[in-house]
Amino acid sequence: MDNKMQQHWEDVYKNKPLNTVSWYQPNVDTFKKVAQRVKLNANSVIIDIGGGDSFVADFLIENGFKNANVLDISKKAIERAKKRLNANANKINWIISDITNFETSNRFDLWYDRAAFHFLNDENQIDEYAKRAAEYVAENGYLAIASFSKNGPEKCSGLPVKQHNQDSLKKIFGNNFKLIDFFEEDHQTPSQKNQNFTICIFQKK
């Protein structure tokens, strides 16, 4: 991803208050639904990809997860999340990185991505993402992708997105993961618009 993309997200997090962005989801319903469908414990290593300053971090802390990571391309997003969490911020491992060139020796029991993967339009970027998911998700670990569905919007944050369904995600991740669950949901934005998401949960083969 280029610097222009990074700048786009820095500008978003500099200019838009938390409760005005279309993806605002204070009850973290999507994460909760995923967590009900997979096996996790307090020591599970979890990463929220493109987590921004979402409340998933708060939920993970409140629920006693000891190995939680949040990755985002935007430094400002991470600063905002840390500021909100205050003294609790040090319970999360914060990573500022473009996911398409992220490198780690860590292995994740749950790789969760809500509304970040769908910004990858280019085949090379999608390959880089899939390569990393395949390598960095632990044996029997889970990969949960929440993307705009084929009935969802064509843009998010003013950027074009790639809409997905079970088949398109299976095509991308299916070599290394098996699809174990699937659901759709309508997210209501702060301006009362519905956005249809497709959520696929895969397990490492």
Looking at 34-42, 92-100, 160-168, 191-199, which segment touches ligand SAM (CB under 6 A)? 92-100
187: contact with ligand SAM by CB under 6 A:
no
1: contact with ligand SAM by CB under 6 A:
yes
* Residues 32-71, mask of contacts with ligand SAM (x by CB under 6 A): ------------------xxx-x-----------------
H/E stretch holding 179 reads strand 177-188
Helix extents (H) in the chain: 3-15, 29-37, 56-62, 75-85, 123-136, 166-173
Least Å from the CB of residue 45 to ligand SAM: 18
Of the pair 102, 182, the CB lying nearest ligand SAM is at 102
Chain positions 103 to 162 lying near ligand SAM, rule: CB under 6 A, are 114-116, 119, 156-157
**Three-class DSSP category at 17:** coil
Least Å from the CB of residue 28 to ligand SAM: 8
Looking at 60-68, 94-102, 177-185, 188-196, which segment touches ligand SAM (CB under 6 A)? 94-102
Say if CB 120 and CB 101 are below 8 A apart. Answer: no
Q: Is 39 exposed, middle or buried (0-12, 13-18, 19+ CB in 10 A)?
A: exposed
H/E stretch holding 69 reads strand 67-72
H/E stretch holding 72 reads strand 67-72
The dihedrals phi and psi of 129, each to the nearest 5 degrees, come to: -65, -50
Judged by CB under 6 A, which of 35, 45, 92, 99 binds ligand SAM? 99
List residues near ligand SAM by CB under 6 A: 1, 9, 23, 25, 50-52, 54, 72-74, 77, 98-100, 114-116, 119, 156-157
